[in-house]
Each structure stands twice: as C-alpha cells, then as structure tokens.
A and B are shown apart, each in its own frame.
Chain A
Amino acid sequence: MSYTSYNYLLLFLGSVLIIYTAMPQKLKWLVLLISSYVFYLISSGRLVVFLVLTTAAVYFAGIFLNKINDSFAIAKKGLEKADKKLLKANIAWQKRAVVAVTLFIIFGFLLVLKYSGFFISSAQTVLKLLHLKPKLPFVKFILPLGISYYTLQAAGYIIDVYRGKYRASENFAKVALFLSFFPQIVEGPIGRFDLLADQLYCGHSFDYDRFTQGIQRIVWGLFKKMVIADRANILVSEVFGNYNKYSGGVILLAGILYTVQIYAEFSGCMDIVIGSAQLFGVEMSENFEQPFFSKSVNEFWRRWHITLGAWLRDYVFYSVSLSKPFMKLSRYTKEHMSEQLGALVPASFALFFTWFGIGFWHGAGVKYIIYGLYYYAIMMVGMYSEPLVAKAFQTLKINRNSLLTESLRIIRTTALVVVGMMLFRAETVKIWAGMMVKIFISFSAATLLKDSLSCGMDKHDFLIVALGVAVIFAVSLLKEKGVKIRESLAKQKLPVRWAVYACLALSVIIFGAYGIGYDAVDFIYGQF
C-alpha cells in the first residue's frame, strides 16, 4: 500500500484516525498497533513472521539484560571494591553475550534474506577464478517490508539497553509498536526507543492545530512526490535505461533530474509519514535539513537521511572508535606520527566501517559498496588535504567564508553528489562509468534542447518540474535563513492562508503525474 495511494490516504489513514480518536485514552495504543500490523500484512503477508521474531528477540533480550542488571545491583551490596570489580567484569561478559546473540539473530535475518543472493554469486565468481565449476543454487528471497529499517531500530534499542542508556521495556506491546509503527515502517525515519515509544504508547486526544499541521505536511509531501519526482522519473528511467542512445548533455541532465527526483521523493515521503504521525500526536525525527545547501560532502551526509547517519555514528562509528583496540591504535599513532596524522589515521579506519556500512545497507551488490566508498574517498581526500587547503587560502589571502567561495563550495558539493546519485541509479558500475565518459566526450550544447525533448518529457513537463524545483528551492532557502515558514504563514489572514493551501492541493490534483499514461512509481527508498 503506497503512501500516495487513495487506499492509504483516504481509506486507511482516515479510518485509523477516526477509530483512534473515538477510542478511550487507554486503548489508543492498541489501535496503532493493530493498524500497523494490518498495514504490514497487506504489504508483506506471511513475511510478518520476521518482524514478530525480531520484536520477540529484542524484547526478551531486553528483559534478560534487566535481570542481569538487577541481580548485579543486589549482589554488589556489601562487597569489597576488588570483588565488586571482578563481579562487574563477569556481568559485563554476560551482557555482551546476550547482545551478541540477539544482534546475530536479527542481523542474521537481514543478511540471509537480503544478501544471500549476493554472497552466493560472489562465491561463484571466486570459485570460477580458481577454475572450479561450481553449481551453487540461485537464491532470491522476497524481502519483508522495511526489514532494513526495523532491524536497525531493533538493534539500536538493544544496544542502548546494553549500554545502560535506559532500562528495557517490560511491555511487549510497546516494543512491538515501536518497531512496526506504520508511518515509519516502509522507509524510516529510523526511530529511537527513548524518543518514540512513550509517544506512541501514551495516546493523544484530538487536537485541531496538530491535525491541520499534519494534513498540510502530507499535502506538501504529495506535491514533492507526485508533481516533481514522478514527472522527473519519466526522463530518468528512459535515459538510465538506454544511455547509449543519448548524448552527454542529456545524460548529465538525467543525472541532475535523478538527484531532484530522489530528493523530492524521499523527503516528500518523509513529509507524508511525519505528517501522518502528527495526526496521532506523534513527533518523529526529521530526516532532512536542506541538504543541498551543504558546503562539503561531509556536511551533506549530516543533512541527508539524517537518521541513518546518526544511527551509524552512534552504533558503528562510536562503537568502533571507542573500543579498546581502537583506543590502543590511536595512542600508538599519536606517539609515532605527526600530530595531525596521529588524529587522522584512526579516524579514517573508523570511518571506513561507517561508509562501508552505508553502502552495503543500501543494497546487496558491488555497486552499493562502491557507492559508499565513493563518499569515503571524497571525505578522506578532504580530511588529509585540509591543512594544505587552509594554508593555500591563507597565503592567497582569500576569505574562505565569503559568499562567493561558499557558493562555489555548495556547487562543488552538489556536483559530487550528482555523480554519486548517478552511480546509485545506474544498473551497474560499468554503465555508470560509461555514462560518465559520455558526459565528457559527447557533450553537445547545440542539440541539448532538441535531445532532451526526445526522452518522454515534453516542454510542459519540464516547465512543471522547473517550477516545482523553484518552489522547493525558495522554501529551503527561507528555512536555511531561519524563517519559520509555517509559523509565519499561520500568522497571515485567512484568505491568504486558504489560497496557499488550496493552490497546493489543487496543483497536486492537476499537475500530479498519476493516472492514465503514468505508472505509479514506488518509493525508491522502500526497497532497502
């Protein structure tokens, strides 16, 4: 059930909201839990078993960790300091075992279901290189909806409990709701138990302002997805599917339009789901913060898919870089290398794991790993060259923070991101390389206009996409300048407000790329 379908918006969301509002306070959580599972069953049917197993695994592991902690608290009373330390070490080992087994189980599902095809075909390639003729079975599983997202949430929960950030919940329904909540299950935002679970569980009564805010946010998301992304998709899928037919200019255009598409779509989906959650009084984390105003790739990834970056930072990057072996390594580099290198070398190791994780999480394939490492490489170049660059700016006496240099940095970052997005979209790395080469060798400005009208989008379509992008740009620019758009809009007189909202809604209905002649386009990020 797509978030942009009538089914979701009118039938599902509408009826859940009515039932939720009508239910007494104490039972509201039940409405959310049941509707989340109905949503899941409609999309994935019996594959729901994996969601249930993951939920059960982290729930019972959490209870187990609570028990260990409690018995430690009792046992340590009256012990000598040395004995206390010994007991603590023993306890720590037990806790580590519980978490390791739990993570093994939940990531096991993810690895087997999502990656076994990749592992088998890789093994096949290796065996072939050794001149063996292997006959390995070809396996491809259907993925349970949102497994890449709820697995991360479940892992974050159990790691937090292990680290002692909070006590595990004794309430199974709460954990189940946290992992299955229907607005977030398809493509995030990846939630944290301490921020989300109580909100989901406590039940909120109907609030008019929140309701209108939620609806507005949903319509804004629909505008991004249906008017811009789905229309840009026409040219993007044509050119990426048959890049050989097109000149470099058109390929570059397709790369830019794909970047527009994925941003409008992913952030639009976030608007829809965050708006949906708002209807029930649930505030979810934001996933985007005007990413295309970033001055570096590093910054881009702090503003794009924020909850994924934050998850990897908290549970991979910090875990790795604060671990004992790592601390030893950084002590070693600090003593044996120059001051700057001493700090950079360990960081580059830890970042490698993070970026490998980002790449591999997006998909089972060499392409996605290269996608992650592409950003890793850019970041490494930036990190290691930073002292030199700083010196260069200083000697040339150029202000690094002037409007011009900052704009140039934004453009450079965007260009690097477009190249990355093209790799993300291209079927294989080879096709991507072919496209990049063509951009440089067969770029013909003279025929660009004519060529771009030959890929399924007519001039009306371009006009709409351009206007849509202009609207998004204007809104982002205002936000970047610190203007709170919705608040200042709410202060306007009623006719102004109504005109804005009605225009937005009507433009979705009229200019949306849906119905005859358009195929409904699935959300790209839902596949991960």
Chain B
Amino acid sequence: MKSGLKKLIRVFGFTALLIALVISSSYMLAPKDNTKEGGIVNPSANGFFSEPKGTIDISVIGNSDAYSGFSPMELWNGYGYTAYVSGEGSQTVAQAYSMLSKVLKVQTPKVVILETDGFFTKSKVVENAAKIVNASLGSSFSVFQYHDRWKKVKIGELFKKPHYTGHCAPKGQWLSNDVKGYNGKEYMKKTDKSAEIPLGTKHSAEAFVKTCRDKNIGVLFLELPSQSSWNYKKHNAVKKYADELGVTFIDMNIDRERFDFNWKTDTRDGGNHLNSKGARKCTLFLGKYLEEKYNLTDHRKDKKYSRWNEDFKDYSKNAKI
C-alpha cells in the first residue's frame, strides 16, 4: 500500500511532465512567421506582430464587423494615429481576450477598442463553455491550435525563435468596394427592453477591461453600424453594462446622420458589413472622438513612421471611395 502523499506527488509529477511536453511542443510547432506560408491562422488579424514594437497606439479587437467597418489607414491619413484591427469571424469575447493578450506581448497601445457585437455571438451555454476552454487552451498552448503543422515543419525550424515578416498594408482591414445597399426599415426602434449578455461573456469582458486598466490603457466599447446584427435591445444591454463597468460605449447605429451615414451606399452585403466607404465615414468620426478624448500623437511627420505613408498610397489605390 503506497502512502497517500506519494500518490499525490506522482499525480503532480506526471501532470508537470505532461505540461512541460505540451509547452515545448507548443514552442516547436507554433508558426514561426505571421504569414500564410508561415502557417498562422488569420494572418491579417495577426499583422501587428510584424509592426515595429510599440508602434501601434490603438488596437481594435472584434469580429467581422470590426475588420470591415474600421479603417486604420483613414485614421492615419486624417489624424496620424497608428491603429491596427484584429478581427476574427464570429469572434467571441473569450477569443477577443486571448487576442488582447497577444497584442500586449509586442505592442503598447494607448487605447483598446472592443467591438461589442461579439457580446451576442450566438451559441448555447455548452458551446460557449467549449469555446472558452478552446480559446484559452489554444492561446496558452498553441499546440492545440497548430498541432497539424508537424506535417510541414522542418527539423531545423523546430527550435527557431519566431520571426515575423508578414506585412499587412491595410492594417487588418478587410477592404471591399462592393456596394449592395440596404433599403429596408429603420432597425433601431427605441425601446426600454433589454437583451441579455451571457454570463460567460461578461466574465471574459471584465477580464478584458481589467487587463487594460492594470496597464493604464484606455478602453472603449464600440458598435459599428450593422443593420442585421444590431438592435435597440442590444444597445440598452451594452449601455447598461458599460455604465456598470465605467467604460464609454459608442454606438454608431444611433444618430447616424452625425457622420453622414447612408445604408444605400455604405454596405457591401445589404446591411450586415460595411464597405470601404462606410468604414471611412465611421473611422473619421471616431478619429475626432479619439482626438478630443485621448492624448494621442500625430506621427505623420515622424520619419520613423514613413512606411505608413507608403501603406496609405497602397491603400488609396485599392480603396475606391
């Protein structure tokens, strides 16, 4: 009969061995570059890795609404602020939180903007729990996300440090010039009713806000115009929740004439996502708010940032506004 203590030590010992193996295989199999060829998932959301350290002042995190409706290049051209959009399709707030931790590894943003559509990403409680586990496993131990790279990885690559070379000129924005307008009814009808933010989501959102505050980073909740995914009930829910947390919430579905928004011309898919034109309007409006509220630096004349001017040229060639 073995003693209880000895057994306990064994359990811990084996668990420690396993964790050590997982960490080392995570290191070996993680993509060594943030390009498509490097094997990274969603290269454009991860492009901030290859921006020089500490050069991004504003980080925008969210789902497809964020990468369609926010344009870092317009912000650069209008205000000289450096922003990067890290958007992932149907991102949950748990995933947003793990994205934030990645951003903070290499960048020191002054403001982080969380797009709030992800608060309501539809999933059952169970799926939600799975996604949280998945996201935290995947972000802490990349072997769970990138295990399949054993097929491609070369032996010499295994022990190399990551070296990020991928350059994303639109800084994470998904640029689309398509126009497919929305001609339907007004979707933001005022009501006192409120939608419900799931408990798991709140948990992740609070961790998100706390991390930013601990590092003295400004946090903003933002909702970009989306006719199909937003309504007044959701607005009420997020407004109330943001007030509780003491976070500013900007809902751009309300009073859209403030920035001259037009559903007939500014969406690429009939009211769900914005096109480059819509993104421009929203971004310039936000720029003004950021200028008033935060002490941000205009880098346009700074030689260190000359690459941004080239990127803007590239962007204007592609964006037909």
| A458 to B148 Cα, complex, angstroms | 12
Nearest chain B CB to A275's CB is how many angstroms away? 17
- A410 to chain B minimum Cβ distance, whole angstroms, is 34
Binding stretch for chain A, among B21-29, B61-69, B213-221, B256-264: B21-29
- Which A residues are CB-close (under 8 A) to B144? 509, 515
- Report which residue of B129, B144, B147 has the largest number of chain A beta carbons within 10 angstroms of its beta carbon: B147
Complex CA–CA separation, A505 to B14 (angstroms): 11
How far apart sit A293 and B252, CA to CA, in the bound complex (Å)? Answer: 68
Partner of A10, one of B29, B133, B147: B133
Q: Is the CB of A6 within 8 A of B143?
A: no
- Does B104 count as interface, using CB distance less than 8 angstroms? no
Q: How far is the CA of A5 from the CA of B129 in the complex (A)?
A: 11
Q: Count how many chain B residues have C-beta atoms less than 8 Å from C-beta atoms of the other chain.
A: 23
Once A502-B21, A509-B22 are accepted as A-B contacts, the answer to whether A7 and B129 lie under 8 Å apart by CB is yes
Q: Do B145 and A515 have beta carbons less than 8 Å apart? A: yes
Assess the B133–A7 pair: CB atoms within 8 A. Answer: yes
Provide the bound-state CA to CA distance between A120 and B21, in Å: 56
| With A7-B130, A10-B133 as contacts: A509 and B14 at CB distance below 8 Å | no
CB distance from A494 to the nearest CB of B (A): 8
B21 touching A515, Cβ below 8 Å: no
Q: Interface code A1-24, partner B: CB below 8 Å = 1, 0 otherwise?
A: 100011100110000000000000
Contact of B14 among A5, A501, A512 (CB under 8 A): A501
Residues from chain B with a CB closer than 8 A to the CB of A5 are 130
Determine the residue in chain B with the shortest Cβ distance to A506.
B21
- In the bound complex, CA of A479 to CA of B88 (Å): 49
Q: How far is the CA of A9 from the CA of B221 in the complex (A)?
A: 35
Cross-chain contact of B25 among A1, A458, A509 (Cβ < 8 A): A509
Q: Is the CB of B133 within 8 A of A11?
A: yes
Q: Which residues of A contact B211 (CB under 8 A)?
A: none
Does A245 sit at the interface, judged by CB under 8 A? Answer: no
Minimum CB distance partner of B7 in chain A: A208
CA–CA, A517 and B39, complex, Å: 12
| Closest CB in chain A relative to B209 CB, distance in Å | 25
Residues of B within 8 A of A506 (CB): 18, 21-22, 25
A509 CA to B23 CA in the complex, in Å?
12
CB closest chain-B residue, reference A503: B21
Asked if A498 contacts B17 (CB within 8 A), the reply is: yes
In chain A between 174 and 229, which residues have their CB closer than 8 angstroms to a CB of chain B?
A: 208
The residues in B between 1 and 60 inclusive whose CB is less than 8 angstroms from any CB of A are: 2, 7, 14, 17-18, 21-22, 25, 29, 41
Q: How far is the CA of A510 from the CA of B158 in the complex (A)?
A: 14
A510's nearest neighbour on chain B, judged by CB, is B147
Fill in one digit per residue for B136-168: 1 if any A CB lies within 8 Å of its CB, else 0.
010000011101101100000000000000000
Residues in A476-519 with C-beta less than 8 Å from chain B:
498, 501-502, 505-506, 509-512, 515-517
CB of B126 within 8 A of CB of A42, answer yes
- Residue in B closest to A508 when the chains form the complex, CB atoms: B147
- B134 at the A interface (CB under 8 A): yes
Q: Please, which residues of chain B bring their CB within 8 A of the CB of A501? A: 14
Residue of B nearest to A7 (CB): B130
**Residue in chain B with minimal CB distance to A43:** B126
**How far, in whole Å, are A93 and B70 apart by their CA atoms in the complex?**
79
Residues of B within 8 A of A511 (CB): 147, 150
Residues on A lying within 8 angstroms of B by beta carbon are 1, 5-7, 10-11, 42, 208, 458, 460, 498, 501-502, 505-506, 509-512, 515-517
- Known contacts A6-B134, A208-B2, A516-B41; 14 further A-B pairs (Cβ under 8 A): A6-B130, A6-B137, A7-B126, A42-B126, A498-B14, A502-B14, A510-B25, A510-B150, A511-B150, A512-B147, A515-B145, A515-B147, A515-B148, A516-B148
Provide the bound-state CA to CA distance between A517 and B146, in Å.
11
Contacts of B148 in A (CB 8 A): 515-517
With CB as the reference atom, state the residue of chain A lying closest to B138.
A515
Q: What string of 1s and 0s marks CB contacts (under 8 Å) between B289-320 and chain A?
A: 00000000000000000000000000000000
Alpha-carbon distance A1/B2, docked complex (angstroms): 37
For B2, B148, B150, B151, the residue with the greatest tally of chain A CB atoms inside 10 Å of its CB is B148
Which A-chain residue is minimally distant from B28 (CB atoms)? A510
Question: Once bound together, how far apart are the Cα atoms of A325 and B133, in whole Å?
Answer: 60
A23 to B7, CA, bound (A): 22
User: Do B18 and A510 have beta carbons less than 8 Å apart?
Assistant: no
**What residues on B are CB-neighbors of A10 within 8 Å?**
133
Q: How far is the CB of B68 from chain A (nearest CB, A)?
A: 22
A208: B residues at CB distance < 8 A: 2, 7
CA distance A10 to B126 in the complex (A): 12
CB–CB A1/B126 < 8 A: yes
Query: Which residues 101-157 of B sit at the A interface, judged by CB distance below 8 A?
Result: 126, 129-130, 133-134, 137, 143-145, 147-148, 150-151
Which residues of chain A have C-beta atoms less than 8 A from B143's C-beta?
Answer: 509-510
8 Å CB contact of B133 from A6, A498, A515: A6
Contacts of B17 in A (CB 8 A): 498, 502
Instruction: Please give me the residue from chain B that is nearest to A211 by CB atom.
Output: B11
Q: Which residue of A lies closest to B13 (CB)?
A: A498
Contact B130 A502 (CB under 8 A): no
Cα separation A494 to B238 with both chains bound (whole Å): 55
Whether B29 lies near A11 (C-beta < 8 A) is: no
Distance between B288 CB and nearest chain A CB, rounded to angstroms: 40
Asked whether B151 lies within 8 Å of A516 as measured between CB atoms, the reply is no
Return the 9 tightest CB-CB contacts between A and B, nearest first.
A460-B151, A6-B133, A510-B147, A7-B130, A208-B7, A506-B21, A6-B130, A510-B150, A42-B126
Residues on B with beta carbons closer than 8 Å to the beta carbon of A510: 25, 29, 143, 147, 150
Contacts of A458 in B (CB 8 A): 151
The minimal Cβ–Cβ distance linking A4 to chain B, given in whole angstroms, is 12
Least Cβ–Cβ distance between B123 and chain A, in angstroms: 12
Interchain CA distance A449-B17 in the complex, whole Å: 40
Chain B proximity of A116: nearest CB distance (Å) = 29
CB of A439, distance to nearest CB on chain B (Å):
30
Contacts of A509 in B (CB 8 A): 22, 25, 143-144, 147
- Residues of chain A within 8 A (CB-CB) of B14 are 498, 501-502
B18 CB contact (under 8 Å) in A6, A505, A517 = A505
Closest to A516 in B: B41
Bound state CA distance, A458 and B151, in angstroms? 9
* Given contacts A7-B129, A7-B130, A11-B133, A516 and B25 within 8 Å (CB-CB): no
Question: Which of A10, A208, A511 is most buried by chain B, counting CB atoms within 10 A of its CB?
Answer: A208
Contacts of B25 on A, CB cut-off 8 Å?
A: 506, 509-510
What residues of B have a CB within 8 angstroms of the CB of A42 in the complex? 126
